Amino acid sequence: MLIALGIAAAVFLGLLLLRQLVVSRLGRLAERTSTGVDDFVVGLARRSRPVLLAVVSLYLGSLYLDLPEGQARTAEAVAAVALYFQLALWASVAIDFWLARQRRRLEHDATSVALGGVLRFVSKLILWSVLLLMALDNLGVDVTALIAGLGVGGIAVALALQNVLGDLLASLSIVLDKPFEIGHAITVDDVTGTVENIGLKTTRLRSVGGEQIVLANGELLKSRIRNWARLAERRVVLAFSVPYDTPADAVERIPGIVRGLVERQDLVRFDRAHFKGFGPSSLDFEAVYWILSPDYVAFMDRQQAVNLGLLRAFESEGISFAFPRPTVVLEREREGPPKTSG
């Protein structure tokens, strides 16, 4: 008996000494280094509970004794429960350590930081639930019925809260896949606005009219989203027409005029300009060029400059723009054969 107590005391004191050395010496070293591994080890040591270490030490000492089968089984179960709780504490440290590193890496992303807290809560809830069931199983509690009941209850809750859970999973998908972020200008169906907040259930936009628009995350991901913040360059299609009585030489010069106007602008790449075809009442042209900036003001400024330049060029060339000319056909009613008098 004394030998068993001595073994338990030696193991317990050795674990406490190791814990104290890691916390004191490695803790001072961790403050001077930029790596996170030493911080993680110090965190594990600090979350090592002396009570749980004492239970495990007593069990190791009891192995020296020839205990009855019932007492040996009870000691093993109690030691297993203590070990499970200690593992849960260490796993919690690992979860906090990983989330802290992700938070520092994504500290500019308010959405990721906010949802990090949700992931922390959910992961720890799952961790402690699993370890609690394992502890109860080691204590002789039949957890099969409990797991079945939790499964049926979970299905019922999931069916009742399927919309909420769908929006929650959609919010996680938005954070992980990042189709848009806070501050991005997006268009969802016929709604355009700037993303102000991405919550667990809804995403809030500030529309161009000033009002706030609230969209469910699940419905949002089902829609077609246009992210204007990730626009690299803007395409401009310039379509115009001239009258049919425009001389052929002038018609031939028009694509070159448009090309020269476009190429004189900065941040613009010319694509094409052509006499497109014969319209119902005009000769139709189409030109395409790109604004090499996603800025909307720059886009409108270059487009305005090209339009004004084309207007002035046509004035100097004596070319006019076509406009719809409705054709009215007047027909005189035919006179019938002269009537003869009886």
The 3-state DSSP class for residue 150 equals: helix
pLDDT band at residue 331 using 50, 70 and 90 as cut-offs: low
Q: How far apart are the first and last CA of the chain?
A: 151
Quote the pLDDT of residue 148: 63
User: How confident is the model over 58-76, as a mean pLDDT?
Assistant: 71
177-200 pLDDT per residue, tens: 888 888 888 999 888 999 988 877
Top-confidence range, 88-92, 158-162, 308-312:
308-312
Phi-psi region of 178 (alpha: psi -120 to 50; beta: other; left: phi over 0): left
CA distance 263 to 268: 7
Tokens of 184: 């991005």
Q: Which of 41-50, 214-223, 301-310 has the highest mean pLDDT?
A: 301-310
How does pLDDT run across 106-133, given as a tens digit for each residue?
A: 555 555 555 666 677 777 777 777 777 7
